[in-house]
Structure 1
Amino acid sequence: MGGLRELAAPFVVPGPCGVAVRDRLKHLTPQDENVLRLVGEHQGRLASRDLKARCADGLEHSADTWASRKRNLTALSSSRIAGTITKATHDQWALARRCQTAHIQTLETAIRTLRHRLSLPIGTPGTKRAAGGYRSRREWFHKSRRLAALEARHAAVVADRQAGRVRVVRGGRRLLHTRHHLTQARLAEERWRERWEAERWFIAADGESGKRFGNETIRVTPDGEVSIKLPAPLTHLANTKHGRYTLTATVAFAHRGVEWADRVTANRAVAYRIHHDTDRRRWYLTASWQRPLVQTIPLATARARGVVGVDTNADHFAAYHLDPHGNPIGNPHHFPYDLSGTTTHRDAQIRHALTQLLHWAKQTGAAAIAIEDLDFTTDKTREKHGRKTRFRQLISGIPTGRLKARLVSMAAEQGLAIVAVDPAYTSMWGAQHWQKPLATPHRRMSRHDAAGIVIGRRALGHPVRRRTAPPPHDRSDRAGHRTAQARPGNRGREGTRPPATDHAPGGVPPSGTRKREPSASNTVRDAPRTQQWVQDPLLRTG
């Protein structure tokens, strides 16, 4: 047991701090679409110019340079639009810096693994904690060349970070690379150009509390009327007063519409973004706002009514309901999803599976969902697993990032807490202690189902191991007492059983003499017994 790493304590995940809803802008006139395109193109050029200036400033950025950039943008748009553009620019630059740091850490992990494997003799077997040597001299040579390439790449990225240089692509680097592979993407150049320009448009506005309906630039009334404050060069296109253009389309947020209406009625800040889906030829309006930070419930409160342990896999969620004492209740449940296809399809599959999981967890009466705090950053590199391509694809296919974001926000709407636990040894210990005992002719148990039980018990603070079987010889304790059979804190749970005189059957005093003579038996003494007492190994004693 000395080789096992120390497990982190479970904790309640904080709730979401923001909300976003979307609705389609239907029945737009050609004039409406033309105005939206012109506004998007104009403000997109301003955003690109401002991002270029911010990247040129690098680490020399200051409040004075920010104010200078904002003044230059104000003359070509408005003060509020300029503030929104500069804020978006700073967010993009900060995100690029975080991605740069993550890239450096990934390169350092790969370099350490390569150096370790190259230092071993050829053919050295690996262990569970570290990879072994390479299989042949040819593979060793190619990996040594790869090490040199990664070290050069690492040095270049570190130099960029120290100089404050980042590389940001407005419109997305993936879409930019698609331009050179149009045949493989089955995309015509005109369609790619249309998508590229739409992604680089900028039609967004931050909310302002105290202003009319919570936003002065893009204003949406409680009735759903949408109007836009046009930038200075496009004010001649206005169809209402004060340089505003009112769209013919109206919006009605079906999801969280009441919460949105309460905010705009009270003039509380709501941010809006308008974007164009070139594949569907549709326009959408997204509204977002911040929620006040809500204190998470204590861990003891989340454990009070039991939990639902969830094991995350590449194609399904395996869930099991556990009572507060850690006993499995009922049968395991599976919630499948398919992560092949487009990003939209994968996202819809995750939402559908989580919706089913949350509805079932609500029906069980549990107050929390226990899930592993997964992070495969260091485990899906090809330097560690080498030729195990399918295994690396399996790990990469598990939706860790999307799952965390979706599950926390969706569970908060259902009033369920999320308890994150250490993922170490869940599948291995589940198969060892729970898979076989719970399998019956009418119930199939997989390693994933057993892992869900381990995750739930870890969230409840119980040991993973189930209660051991009764002694094999008789009902005495010659074979030793059971382990893990009492709740933590019970007095005497680690001691031996009391003597037989202290737990004699009812009606027998401690002296061992009966109050009355036993009645004659109505059965033949030599007849075989038709009943046999069998103790359920899953029950727990107090």
Structure 2
Amino acid sequence: MGRKRGKKRELRALAAPFTVAPPSGARIRDRLRLGAADESVLTLVGEHLGGHQRSDFTARVALGNVSQKDTGRAARKRKLTAVSSSRWVGAMTRASEDQYQLSVRCLYDERAGLRRAISTIDKRLAVPCGQRGGRLRGYPDQNERFQKQRRLQALTTRLAVVEERIAAERPAVVVGGRRLARVRHHLADAHLTGQEWRQRWDAARLFRTADGESGAGHGNYTITVGPYDGSVTLVLPEPLRHLANAPRGRYRLACTAGFHHRREEWLDRVSAHRAVRYDIVRDAARGRWYLDASWSADTTPPPAPDEIRQRGERLLAVDLNADHLAAVVLDGHGNPIGEPHTVPLELTGPTTTRDGRLRAAITGLLGIAKRQGCAGLVIEDLGFADARATGRETMGRGGRGKQFRRTVAGIPTARFRERLRGMACHAGLFVIAVDPAHTSIWGGRDWQRPLQQQTKTTVTRHHGAAMAIGRRGLGHRVRRRPGVTAPDQRIGQRRATGQTGPVPRPRGTTSPPRTAGTPPEGGKTRLCRGDQLVLLPGPQDRSEGHRTTCPDYGELANSDQQR
């Protein structure tokens, strides 16, 4: 008796490709080389404003998740104005509202992840050890099952805490960073002393943010940067007005700011008195001070993938991997152009080093797109949210599973997408995101060998995945039709992929139905027996010679009818 086959697993519906929106703003940074007097004044201002901003945030959390009109922002601003300045109060209350809304969203995301993990473990615990229940497999032994039961209890406890915070509408927020707060109990492992940790903690809790205002002098009255001389002045809070060295209770720094990166855009805004936000940041680990300028940009809607396909423009398809980027150039019909490209990507070392290497890799991709005349790039819309939430339940166990999980954790999907979106927009290119389902499987199976036959470089399955990503972004089918690519050198000049459908004829150009007496247009389509070259021609060929003209098919057809 044959084995009973279960129901065939259905593939999920693929999401439609979409064009990634360009960045809605810009942020640039310049270093401030402060003296001892300037550092002391900025520290006093930051500590004074930081203490009152934390008090305002506490009052905002106590209100709960209420509508915007019930937040009491006007009353809070009046209360803070007496102890600071009306110029700083707007930024302080806005920061409190933004932090609260972000914390609430994080709570909902954490609850969703905990529920996914609990559901997955519950399903596997329902199956006995070493057995299978449909598509679910039980844990291999009692030891692992016991550990998973303990893990389930811990997740359930965490979920109960999150549910309680959501019901109370009061998220737990650590001003200065929860990670830095935990380092306080592990100073030896972090290679820090108590004094060094205290300096970083105090620097993270300072507040020196000033929102811009259109129509104000150079786009911001609280912190003003001169477009010509680079002078930096700021309004002092009311209790610190005695430290002013400029008119109207302002303090002028001895150093200047130039903003070399994207300076022209910054100059256009400050010269037109458009809103620019400034943040004065202190990096305690490096002992440096920075001035950040940010503003919102006027963006136009990017073209849809269907519009890009109709234009017939080239695209650069990119497959993101843990150690390299695989890229292939495609034309408007989804056919590969030239040789595949491989951009190395080494993500080891400190955070700043990894970020710099990621930027260098993206710069290499943009250079390839520019040289090949591409209008944009196509990437996968990766997130690994579900996989990271369930962990070993869906990503394997043992040595191979552990290695795979480390690989997934090392792929900077979100950072790569954000960096590529900003840098591509600055370079005049757009980005298309597609569903990542089955791109590696289908690309490696259907495109690796054909690409290898057409190029001299080594082609991997990741280049095949890039082909699948690019074709999906253009709206074509990923899989190839069999028998299209011809490895023979004589007939390899034709179109390599043949995946696109035939171009429809214009209306009114359809050929009439052919009959037996209608001669074909454009010359002969089939050679007659006398046209074939033979070593020993027949008697008729000796007397009459080889025929080189097309016979009159109409007469031949009519002669049969006359007999």
- Normalising by the smaller structure, the TM-score range is 0.7 to 0.9
Q: State the distance in 2 between where 1:134 and 1:234 align.
A: 65
- Equivalent position SS for 1:466: coil
> Following the alignment from structure 1 to structure 2, what is the Cα–Cα distance between the partners of residues 470 and 357?
30
TM-fit CA distance, 1:503: 11
Summarize the Cα distance change of 1:340–1:298 in structure 2 as closer, same or farther, 3 Å threshold.
same
Which residue in the other structure is 2:27 paired with?
Answer: 20
Give the CA deviation at 1:132: 2.2
CA separation in 2, counterparts of 1:342 and 1:193?
A: 22
Q: Under a length normalisation based on structure 1, what TM-score does the superposition of the two structures give?
A: 0.87
Q: Could you report, residue by residue, the CA deviation over 1:435-457 in whole angstroms, capped at 9, with x for unpaired residues? A: 12222583211111110010001
Amino acid at match of 1:203: R
Which secondary structure state, in structure 1, belongs to the residue aligned with residue 174 of structure 2?
coil
Give the drift of 1:282.
1.2
Within 1, Cα distance between the matches of 2:498 and 2:240?
74
* Alignment check: 8 A CA contact 1:468 1:483 kept: no
Shift in alpha-carbon separation, 1:64–1:56, aligned structure 2, 3 A: closer
Map 1:40-189 to 2 at 5 A: 40-59=46-65, 63=70, 65-124=72-131, 132-189=137-194
1:469 is matched by which residue type in structure 2? G
Task: Name which of structure 1's ranges 330-339 and 433-442 shifts more when overlaid on structure 2.
Answer: 433-442
- Paired residues of 1:227 and 1:247 also in contact (CA < 8 A): yes
Alignment partners' CA distance in 1, 2:233 and 2:143 = 66
Cα 1:522/1:207, change in 2 over 3 Å: farther
Q: CA deviation at 1:490?
A: 4.1
Per-residue displacement from partner, 1:408-437 (whole Å, max 9, x unpaired)? 111111111111111000000011101122
Q: Which residue of structure 2 aligns with residue 332 of structure 1?
A: 340
Pick from 365, 370, 373 the counterpart of residue 378 of structure 2: 370
Q: Gaps (5+ residues) in structure 2?
A: 1-7, 487-495, 506-512, 538-563
Q: What secondary structure sits across from 2:347 in the alignment? A: coil
Partner of 1:419: 432
AA aligned opposite 1:197: D
Shift of 1:49: 1.4
Q: Take 1:490 and 1:17, find their aligned partners in 2: how far apart are those partners? A: 40
> 1:373, 1:420 within 8 Å by CA — same for their partners in 2?
yes
CA distance in 1, matches of 2:341, 2:485: 33
- CA offsets, 1:276-301, max 9 Å, x none? 11222211000000012311123234
Alpha-carbon spacing, 1:72–1:328, altered in 2? closer, same or farther (3 Å): same
Relative to structure 2, which stretch is displaced further, 388-397 or 54-63? 54-63
Task: Assess, with a 3 A threshold, how the Cα gap between structure 1 residues 65 and 486 changes in structure 2: closer, same or farther.
Answer: closer
Other-structure match for 1:495 = none
Task: Label 1:22 to 1:470 Cα distance change in 2 as closer, same or farther (>3 A).
Answer: closer
TM score, norm. by length of structure 2: 0.84
Q: Which residue of 2 aligns with 1:396?
A: 409
The letter for the 2-side match of 1:37 is: T
Mapped to 2, the partners of 1:346 and 1:471 lie a distance apart of 40
What secondary structure does 1:59 align onto?
coil
Cα pair distance change 1:386/1:456, threshold 3 Å: closer
SS at match of 2:328: strand
Aligned-residue offset at 1:506? 6.1
Residues 205 and 271 of structure 1 are in contact (CA less than 8 Å); yes or no, is this contact kept in structure 2?
Answer: yes
* Distance (whole Å) between structure 2 residues aligned to residue 327 and residue 471 of structure 1: 11
Q: Answer yes or no: is 1:360 the counterpart of 2:368.
A: yes
Q: Which amino acid aligns with 2:159?
A: H
Q: How does 1:86-485 map to 2 (within 5 A)?
A: 86-124=93-131, 132-223=137-228, 224-303=230-309, 304-380=312-388, 381-382=390-391, 383-385=393-395, 387=397, 388-440=401-453, 442-469=456-483, 485=499
Q: Which moved more, 1:310-319 or 1:290-299?
A: 290-299
Q: Deviation at 1:45?
A: 1.0
Structure 1, unaligned stretches of length 5 or more?
A: 473-481, 492-497, 525-542
Secondary structure of the structure 2 residue equivalent to 1:210: coil
1:67: how far off? 2.0
Q: Secondary structure at the match of 2:72?
A: helix
Q: Structure 1: how far apart are the matches of 2:272 and 2:92?
A: 26
CA distance in 2, matches of 1:321, 1:48: 52
Q: In structure 2, do the counterparts of structure 1 residues 176 and 488 end up closer, same or farther at CA, with 3 Å as the change threshold?
A: farther
CA contact (8 A) 1:131 1:384 kept: no
Distance 1:488 1:107 in 2: 50
User: Structure 1 pair 109/293, CA: closer, same or farther in 2 (3 Å)?
Assistant: same
Between the aligned partners of 1:9 and 1:258, the Cα distance in structure 2 is 38
- Offset at residue 305 of structure 1 (A): 1.0
8 Å contact kept, 1:465–1:484: no
How much does 1:339 deviate? 2.2
1:472-520 CA-to-partner distances (Å, cap 9, x unmatched) read 9xxxxxxxxx9964426647xxxxxx99x9998963278x669xx7486
Q: Report the equivalent of 1:535.
A: none
Shift of 1:151: 1.6
List per-residue Cα deviations over 1:354-386 (Å, max 9, x = no partner): 111112111111112111011201112324336
CA contact (8 A) 1:302 1:417 kept: no
